[in-house]
């Protein structure tokens, strides 16, 4: 075990699944398929074995946060304001963060009666392509400097204080921020914030995004597995873009497949892998829980901060 994991408890899937009373997952097979990213694998068995115990753990953290807020209120002799419980989900590109976040959204809204759960992806906080081109960093898209960190921190601050907030919308089809479109995020009971950058904040060393989180999850896997999932996803994106001329990936569909896949491999090597090694993975130990995925996308190990 490396030093990085010294303050984590390593738990096998077998042990983890027994930490929770077995009950039927509160969603159907078809619901699960509808939230699954198209290159991801996840089964109802995974929901029962891994994600129900995780929801249970979040319940414990939420209770302790409420107890602390109540006690602080007594200490300060003022009533504590109800705040959203904010969950950060991080990990590499193509590791399956979106699927896990959407699944958590459903599980939380059905575990906590009448709970509202908002899901935000940090893609919406990327600078528009035009801005990246002007700053000459379009090839650094996804790297820390390509995000409007000030806006992201302002959003977290407002949401934490129970205010609603309108955020920009990112589209993978056009590979850019959608002009004149906003998504309103309400100050819900739970707000899940998902993105490759949610544990980093290099532009303002005094404030980390993690300062706003009540619970955080890092989705981990071996680099060679993530690479093959990334290339697999690229292939599937090409297939989807074949007849859609507005799609960013359409331009690649006219080229020979081996040429395009060589390009995808190059993008992985020079951009996504560099970003993972330099900026994403070093923040892994800021998580409360690390979910480790095996080659078949199944969670095989869980690391829980001691």
The response to whether 91 counts as a known ligand-binding position is yes
Residue 297: phi, psi to the nearest 5?
A: 75, -5
Q: Give the start-to-end residue ranges of the domains of the chain.
A: 8-305
Can you give the pLDDT at residue 80?
Answer: 80
The response to whether 92 counts as a known ligand-binding position is yes
Q: What is the CATH topology of the domain spanning 8-305?
A: Rossmann fold (3.40.50)
Q: How far apart are CA 200 and CA 283, in angstroms?
A: 7
Can you give the pLDDT at residue 35?
Answer: 92
Q: How far apart are CA 234 and CA 264, in angstroms?
A: 7
- Locate 44 and state its tokens: 């109802």
Can you give the pLDDT at residue 2?
Answer: 61
Can you give the pLDDT at residue 204?
Answer: 58
The response to whether 47 counts as a known ligand-binding position is no
The response to whether 162 counts as a known ligand-binding position is no
Q: Bin 32: left if φ > 0, else alpha if -120 < ψ < 50, else beta.
A: alpha
The response to whether 96 counts as a known ligand-binding position is yes
Residue 148: phi, psi to the nearest 5?
A: -85, 85
Q: How far apart are CA 142 and CA 152, in angstroms?
A: 14
* CA-based end-to-end distance of the chain: 15
Identify the CA nearest to 145 among candidates 190, 96, 201.
201
Is 211:200 a contact under the CB 8 Å cutoff? no
Can you give the pLDDT at residue 18?
Answer: 93
- pLDDT tens track, the chain, 306 positions: 467 788 999 999 999 999 988 788 899 999 999 998 877 889 999 999 999 999 999 999 999 999 999 999 999 999 888 899 999 999 999 999 999 999 999 999 999 988 999 999 999 999 999 999 999 999 999 999 999 999 999 999 999 999 999 999 999 889 999 999 999 999 899 999 999 999 986 565 677 889 999 999 999 999 999 999 999 999 998 988 888 888 988 989 989 989 999 999 999 999 999 999 999 999 999 999 999 999 999 999 999 999
Kindly report the pTM of this predicted structure. Answer: 0.94
Q: How far apart are CA 144 and CA 293, in angstroms?
A: 25
The response to whether 117 counts as a known ligand-binding position is no
């Amino acid at each position: 075990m490396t030093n990085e994991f010294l303050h984590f408890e390593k738990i096998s899937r077998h042990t983890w699944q027994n930490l929770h009373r077995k009950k039927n997952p509160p969603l159907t097979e078809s619901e699960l398929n509808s939230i699954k990213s198209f290159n991801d694998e996840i089964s109802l068995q995974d929901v029962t074995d891994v994600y129900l115990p995780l929801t249970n753990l979040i319940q414990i953290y939420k209770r302790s946060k409420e107890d602390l807020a109540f006690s602080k209120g007594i200490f300060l002799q003022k009533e504590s304001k109800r705040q959203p419980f904010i969950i950060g989900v991080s990990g590499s590109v193509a590791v399956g963060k979106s699927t896990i976040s959407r699944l958590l959204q459903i599980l939380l809204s059905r575990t906590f009666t009448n709970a509202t759960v908002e899901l935000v992806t940090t893609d919406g906080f990327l600078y528009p392509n035009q801005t990246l081109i002007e700053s000459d960093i379009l090839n650094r898209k996804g790297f820390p400097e390509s995000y409007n960190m000030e806006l992201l921190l302002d959003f977290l601050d407002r949401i934490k204080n129970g205010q609603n907030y309108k955020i920009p919308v990112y589209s993978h089809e056009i590979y850019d921020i959608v002009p004149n479109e906003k998504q309103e995020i309400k100050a819900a009971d739970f707000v899940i914030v998902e993105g490759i950058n949610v544990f980093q904040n290099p532009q303002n060393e005094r404030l980390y995004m993690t300062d706003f989180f009540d619970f955080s999850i890092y989705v981990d896997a071996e680099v060679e597995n993530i690479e093959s999932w990334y290339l697999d996803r690229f292939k599937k994106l090409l297939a989807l873009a074949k007849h859609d001329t507005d799609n960013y990936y359409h331009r690649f569909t006219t080229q020979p497949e081996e040429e395009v896949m060589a390009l995808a491999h190059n993008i992985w090597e020079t951009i996504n892998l560099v970003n993972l090694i330099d900026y994403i993975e070093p923040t892994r130990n800021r998580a409360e829980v690390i979910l480790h995925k095996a080659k078949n996308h199944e969670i095989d190990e869980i690391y829980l901060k001691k």
